[in-house]
Amino acid sequence: MNAIGQRSESGPFWTNRWFQLVVGMLCMALVANLQYAWTLFVAPMNSRHHWGQAEIQLAFSIFILTETWLVPVEGWLVDKFGPRPVVAGGAVCAGLAWVINSYVTTLPMLYVSAVIAGIGAGGVYGTCVGNALKWFPDRRGLAAGLTAAGFGAGAAVTVIPIANMITRSGYEHTFFFFGVLQGVSILVLSFLLVKPVTRPVAVAGRRLVSRVDYTPGQMVKQPVFWVIYICFVAVAAGGLMATAQIGPIAKDWGLARIPMTVFGMTLPLLTLTLSIDNICNGFTRPLCGFISDKIGRENAMFLIFVGEGLALLGMMQFGTNPYAFMTFAALIFLFWGEIFSIFPAICADTFGSKYAASNAGTLYTAKGTAALLVPVASVLSATGGWSAVFIAAAVITIAAGVSAKFFLAPMRKRLIEQSSEASNEAGNEPNVTLATNTGAGMSHWSNQSGE
């Protein structure tokens, strides 16, 4: 029985969980430019101010650190007050940051703007993913994937307009225009977000899922959390080291301005590559989330992370060819983007739904930790060329896939079994679902309606 997926509560249309999912996806799409369009501004800013590429890219690292390390606080606010005020605040910060960027004349001012942008992006991202996990406890991988897809694919719609506007009107005007557009749009959408009200209903499950609700403090005391965290850091670092450097790599290899014609449109290779990459980055999140719902989280992680490593090595070996560059860049984004659906899902599967937003936010800080390694890519490229960057990224990504399959899977199973045994010994109704990929178990998921 899959009651959640088939029933909807009576009430206003905005309390329907699929409507909530769509609103979350739109918010994510609108805030995505803060990360994925950044590479388009680096060269124009350096040409105008001559600050140096490394100094400008430091703002990107500051943005990632702020975005990720404040998400646990924002997740706590969501669990306590609901999604609406947090996303509204994020909208103001996201818009303000790019407006400030349009007037920036010093590096310290650029870094302050990066902090504001990180607060805004983290508020929107953490809230929308956490809200999706709560609305869809029966389809966490798919829901988190669709929500994260907005963040991955949203920039695909705007990369070409942003690149064209930078060329025509300058990067300052582009920052201002899109800052106002995304800030106002997210603010309007935030008023449609609501948190679910739950009540018990039994449905079938096919995954290893705990019904024990761990607070963030309890969660971080579990060794299995740190294995999940390290895997997240490894794959995020490998992906960020490559994806954040796509622009500089294309320029160094003499590919960035090569005209490429697709479907009758002729665009510079870098612009076209970034657009395709963002589509792949968005598409993979619901796809791999859905796959992980079916074959199990760790099995999916193993296959996908190894694929990411092979794509990185392929880029190193064949990427100087324009078509190979576009192909392997797309594969890198395809295999990398899914971490933002699978990891929130496995976190909620392991540590429960009640504190899903703050727990997923705590895990999401792994992206900030990984961002510390992004400058390492510049160091490696200076000493060993881009090949050193790709080899390092591939090794840690493949190692994460192997660890997920052979270390994380048995540890997580053992934790959930121990939780079940403790519940039985205490004389309580079992609150843990144990299921395998070959049989269905019964869990007491909650039916959802909006508040």
Q: Give me the CATH number covering residue 161.
A: 1.20.1250.20
Number of separate domains in the chain: 1
Q: What value does the mean pLDDT take over residues 186-209? A: 71
Q: Look at 37-51, 212-226, 422-436 and tell me which has the smallest mean pLDDT.
A: 422-436
Tell me the pLDDT tens digit for each residue of 244-256.
788 888 988 989 8
pTM beyond 0.75: the answer is yes
The tokens describing 51, both together, are 């600050």
Cα(122)–Cα(133) distance, rounded to whole angstroms? 16
Find the helix or strand (DSSP H, E) in which 432 lies.
strand 432-433
CA-to-CA distance for 132 and 189, rounded, in angstroms? 15
Q: What stretch of H or E contains 450?
A: strand 446-450
The candidate with the shortest Cα–Cα distance to 80, out of 211, 216, 209, is 216
- Look at residue 89 in the predicted model and tell me its pLDDT: 95
Taking only the tens place, the pLDDT of each residue in 372-406 is 777 787 788 778 788 888 898 899 999 999 999 99
* C-alpha distances out from residue 55 to 119, 375, 384, 412, Å: 21, 10, 21, 41
Residue with tokens 């190979």: 324
Distance CA 403, CA 401 (A): 5
| Range from 179-188, 220-229, 429-438 carrying the lowest mean pLDDT | 429-438
**What average pLDDT does range 337-360 have in this prediction?**
88
CA distance 34 to 183: 11
Per-residue pLDDT at 441 exceeds 70: no
pLDDT-derived band at 2 (thresholds 50, 70, 90) equals very low
Dihedral, 41, 45, 106, 241 alpha carbons, nearest 10:
50
- Answer whether 354's CB lies under 8 Å from 133's CB: no
Residue with the bigger pLDDT between 443 and 177: it is: 177
Residue range of the domain that includes 15: 3-450
- pLDDT tens for each residue of 116-162: 999 999 999 889 988 898 888 888 888 988 998 887 667 778 888 99
The reported pLDDT for the residue numbered 248 is 84
DSSP-H helix ranges across 82-170: 83-101, 107-135, 140-169
pLDDT for res 424: 62
